[in-house]
Amino acid sequence: MSPVNSLWFKWKSLRLPWRRSFLVGADLAGNTYWEFKDALNSGRMRRIVKYNPRTHYADVKITPQWHQWLRYVRHEPPSIEEQQQDILRQQQLKQLARLADERWASKPSYLDKPPTQQQPGPATRASDLRTRPGVAQEQQDQAGVRNAVGNQKGSGTTTTVKNPWARETGAPSENWQPESWTPTASQR
């Protein structure tokens, strides 16, 4: 800040009885914060911010400390040293968050699939079945079940094999269908 601006800010911050508005402070972005007596509300002090004229309105950012002062949450305005300490705190917090993210990313996740060896596709020839030990045994078991069911059918005794995945039916509302609407003559 130039010495001329510094003198002007000191002059505006003096609480002289004839002055309507008083400069309270400024932030690091160049915004100034003012108090003035509100004539409509029995002389209550109102607080406002005047933005830096070089900044576009969409780019204006008010720090939390000044926002607290504007909303009467804090009585004393923040000092320049306090604002600088807050910027240092934010930079340290970002550094710690980056380190925590790196540590988190380096650990294996339970959501990731475990590393497995690539398995060949389904076997179609007998030579392929010999190379995959579990598949040959599984297909032999399935063939044995089919032969056992076929032998029982041929011997005269019928045995029904229940499908464990079949849905049980029998509830009264299972086969319910709505009836068609038949209008009746209206009575007058």
- Distance, CA of 119 to CA of 136 (rounded, Å): 15
Instruction: Name residue 33's beta-bridge partners.
Output: 25, 49
Does residue 85 or residue 161 have the better pLDDT?
85
Digit-coded pLDDT (tens) for 1-54: 677 877 777 777 777 777 778 889 889 888 999 898 877 777 788 898 999 888
> What is the 3-state secondary structure of 21-74?
EEEEEECCCCCEEEEEEECCCCCEEEEEEECCCCCCHHHCCCCHHHHHHHCCCC
Q: Are 23 and 9 in contact (CB under 8 A)?
A: yes
- Domain spans, the chain: 3-94
Give pLDDT tens digits for 111-164: 877 777 666 566 555 555 555 555 555 555 555 545 544 544 445 556 677 777
pLDDT of residue 70: 92
Instruction: Check pLDDT > 80 for residue 81.
Output: yes
